[in-house]
Amino acid sequence: MTDLVPAKDIERIVGVARHPIEHWGRAVSTEQTVYILHSKECLDKGGELRDCPYSIALGLGIAMGRWAGYEDRPVPLWVSAATGRLVPLRSA
């Protein structure tokens, strides 16, 4: 299961402003943690953020190889159709 981060902190941690439709994230290597900044569209749905497909994908774990070179910086996110795991969009 994923943990929720306070809304006031997540944009600072990820390092970008909330996007209208894209989910963004940051893999913080020193913490061995991936943070998700949910899109405005996702927030506007009003549901539990842990039920979002991106959170569910993160709950499955990440493929470390797909994140190589994308650590410690904000990246757009995607859910891999092949594995169901959360990946940086540019590596998808």
Residue boundaries of the structural domains of the chain: 7-91
Residues comprising the chain, all counted: 92
Nearest to 64 by CA among 40, 38, 34, 37: 34
Residues of the chain with pLDDT under 50: none
Q: What is residue 59's DSSP assignment?
A: H
What is the share, in percent, of the chain residues with pLDDT greater than 90? 78
Q: Are 92 and 80 in contact (CB under 8 A)?
A: yes
Are 76 and 23 a contacting pair, CB within 8 Å? yes
pLDDT of 21: 97
- This prediction has a pTM of 0.91
